[in-house]
Structure 1
Amino acid sequence: MFSKATALLALAASAAAHMTLNYPVPYGKATLNSSPLVPGDWPCKQRTGVYEVSEMNQWDAGETKEVSFIGSAVHGGGSCQFSLTTDSNPTEASQWKVIHSVVGGCPSNVTGNLPENPAGTGAAVFPVTMPESIPDGLYTFAWTWLNKIGNREFYMNCAPVQVGETGATASSANAASALGALPDMFVANLPDTSCSTKEGEDFNYPDPGQSLVDGASADLGDDLSGAGCASMTQMGAGNGQIGTPTQASGSGSSAPAATQPAATAVVSAPAASAPAASSAPGYSAAPVASASPVVSVPGVFAPGASSAPVASAPAATEPATSAAPVASAAPVASAAPSTPSTSEDCTPCTTDGDVVCIGTSSFGLCNRGCAVAQQLAAGMACTDGAITAAVSKRTFPRAHLHKRHGSGLRLN
């Protein structure tokens, strides 16, 4: 029988072995530990010195970099997203836009954990391409991870990146054309008692974006449970300043319907075109069936995983009016008291998370006493705090085409 001291030492060793971002070099590298986030850590694992620049990472538009990790406790893999925000000191109000998703096999797809390595390395590396259209400036890059095996956890590390000319700064306004249509970061398990993914599943993001890699052996699933899912899954939307927040489909969520606003319709952001990227050695591009251009970016996995393009096909037309409520794209409510803004772009409001109609063709989501106007899609209308569709809508479910390749292992 293990003594209490032995158990504590084992727990500490396990926590120390969790994964952390190796490249790009994270903020506050000397103070970054490898434990999962708790609510007070959002975003970027808050701590003293959280945004100290250990090393500035140069990452130009259109350039592909290999994202790597340190650690051995990969929890059987899981799903990861790689995102950007224009804020150099991100807060709860920051909006994160996903530039690449990996569904299954991230940060490695071994069963259980990797063997311990004195150098701390061994997980797979993943090629990620900076969007070609992104303007020069300073951004914050984030790696987020929903683990497959073990406690339901959410990991997030952040790093500073300079795109283009040194000294250039980025704003939500000048980056909106490049990032605005990309999906928002997906958040869950923060904490798992409020919204939890299902153990044993590689979480299938409701909107992973068009730069996507699926592990060939992934156990895909999108089960969510908990009363807080409607707000937690939208935390990545922040205040929506970069572009219209993406609304998650809510597929597989068992959150009670009472927690979601009734009689609303999904407001869809326009599809984004991902930049083309050169294939890594051992990979070749497969044809993609899609209603619009889709580019698949290769991933480099441990044995047993491969990259796969995404196939999209139109589904049968659904009636415009649905009795089922749709999850709101409201950002998580801040613990700080709401103070109405006096900005000319702000419509004052009282309840965080409420839909605010600004005329009949625009809406905003109340955040800290302010709703910023966002144009509704054609055929949509905002009346009395509800967004309704006047025309039939079509959904485009994602199919998964898996292509195995002869080689693809890249270890640190």
Structure 2
Amino acid sequence: MKLLASAALLALSSMALVADAHISFRYPCPRKAPYSECPKPNDNQWGEVDYDVQSPVGTYNHISDPICKHSSSFAGVRPTFQAGSTIPAKMDVDVNHRGGSCQWALSYDNGKTWVVIQDHFQDCLANAPAGSTFSLPVRIPANAPSGPAVLNWLWNNNEGNRELYSSCADIVIQGTNGGSLSGVAPLFANYGAGSPYIPERAVSGGNWGKQYFDARKPITVTVPPRQLKRQVVPLN
């Protein structure tokens, strides 16, 4: 019975993603996504599956969801990446809106503070075919501290409704034990009435929000060193 229920829900998830979908992470898995390769809910958690994982988190005058949508993922193994390595991130693309501006950010405190680690302005995802899984690699800084982290992808589209898209994936970074990561705080544009407004690029004569991205605030995220467990070897 459980297998039948699970199969039915997964089938419904595919229908939901086609019916109301745009773009999200496919890998690493976004929180509570219905993709088959993602952590599965427990028997009492099926109602928490996010079948609208590809939808925007807000528009220029309305906030639909928090930036990460969910405060946690379903229990499961987080993918581990070395500091300095490139994550072979993949996006599930329904409509590319003629590209836009992407930001990738890391958080070590479950989304309270973020530091941008990579940008791709103006034509990010412009070449992503509709209905495709599109590769969009992101590099983890070589000096990134070790520990559980959240990788966030943000996207302001060039064409269509003035929206903000966001995907959060729980990962583990193997790097420096403690330390800090400096950069800029991400821009949350077209995310409610109090946020910066970025118009459609073609309609506005090429304005893609450069002035807002240039004004992002410098930030340093500090991660305390973790106390490593010492292995005691008994003497013979």
Band the TM-score falls in, shorter-chain normalisation = 0.5 to 0.7
Does structure 1 conserve the Cα–Cα contact (< 8 Å) formed by 2:153 and 2:166?
A: yes
**Which of these residues, 70, 92, 96, is aligned with residue 74 of structure 1?**
96
**Structure 1 CA distance for aligned equivalents of residues 103 and 190 of structure 2:** 15
For each residue in 1:299-333, what CA deviation from the matched residue of structure 2 results, as whole angstroms up to 9, or x when unmatched?
Answer: xxxxxxxxxxxxxxxxxxxxxxxxxxxxxxxxxxx
- SS in structure 2 opposite 1:221? coil
**Which of these residues, 130, 143, 151, is aligned with residue 133 of structure 1?**
143
- SS in structure 1 opposite 2:89? strand
**Which of these residues, 26, 30, 54, is aligned with residue 30 of structure 2?**
26
**Which of these residues, 62, 73, 76, is aligned with residue 51 of structure 1?**
73
Are 1:150 and 2:160 counterparts?
A: yes
1:98 is displaced (CA, Å) by 0.6
Runs of 4 or more consecutive aligned structure 1 residues displaced over 3 Å after TM superposition:
12-15, 192-195, 267-270
1:162 is displaced (CA, Å) by 0.7
Q: Once the two structures are aligned, what percentage of the paired residues are identical?
A: 27
**Structure 2 CA distance for aligned equivalents of residues 151 and 14 of structure 1:** 18
For each residue in 1:174-215, what CA deviation from the matched residue of structure 2 results, as whole angstroms up to 9, or x when unmatched?
Answer: 342xx1x211111111126753201026xxxxxxxxxxxxxx
2:154 corresponds to which letter in structure 1?
A: T
RMSD of aligned alpha carbons = 3.2
Are 1:97 and 2:84 counterparts?
A: no
2:187 corresponds to which letter in structure 1?
A: F
**Structure 2 CA distance for aligned equivalents of residues 16 and 163 of structure 1:** 33
1:106 is displaced (CA, Å) by 1.9
Does structure 1 conserve the Cα–Cα contact (< 8 Å) formed by 2:122 and 2:208?
A: no
1:45 is displaced (CA, Å) by 1.5
Q: Which has the greater radius of gyration?
A: 1
Does structure 1 conserve the Cα–Cα contact (< 8 Å) formed by 2:183 and 2:218?
A: no
1:45 corresponds to which letter in structure 2?
A: K
**Structure 2 CA distance for aligned equivalents of residues 66 and 76 of structure 1:** 22
**Structure 1 CA distance for aligned equivalents of residues 17 and 143 of structure 2:** 43
**Structure 2 CA distance for aligned equivalents of residues 55 and 152 of structure 1:** 35
Cα pair distance change 1:80/1:52, threshold 3 Å: same
**Structure 2 CA distance for aligned equivalents of residues 59 and 43 of structure 1:** 23
Output aligned runs, 1:8-407, within 5 Å.
Answer: 16-30=20-34, 31-32=49-50, 33=52, 34-38=54-58, 39=63, 41-46=65-70, 50-87=72-109, 89-90=110-111, 94-109=112-127, 114-116=129-131, 121-123=132-134, 125-164=135-174, 174-176=178-180, 179=181, 181-191=182-192, 195-200=196-201, 221-222=208-209, 249=215
Gaps of 5+ in 1: 1-11, 202-218, 225-232, 234-246, 251-266, 271-412
Cα pair distance change 1:194/1:100, threshold 3 Å: closer
Gaps of 5+ in 2: 1-15, 35-48, 221-236
More strand per residue: 1 or 2?
2
Cα pair distance change 1:13/1:22, threshold 3 Å: closer
Task: Give the length in aligned residue pairs.
Answer: 182
**Structure 2 CA distance for aligned equivalents of residues 269 and 158 of structure 1:** 20
1:66 is displaced (CA, Å) by 1.7
For each residue in 1:272-319, what CA deviation from the matched residue of structure 2 results, as whole angstroms up to 9, or x when unmatched?
Answer: xxxxxxxxxxxxxxxxxxxxxxxxxxxxxxxxxxxxxxxxxxxxxxxx
- Name the TM-score, length of structure 1 as normaliser: 0.39
Cα pair distance change 1:53/1:192, threshold 3 Å: farther
**Structure 2 CA distance for aligned equivalents of residues 23 and 13 of structure 1:** 16
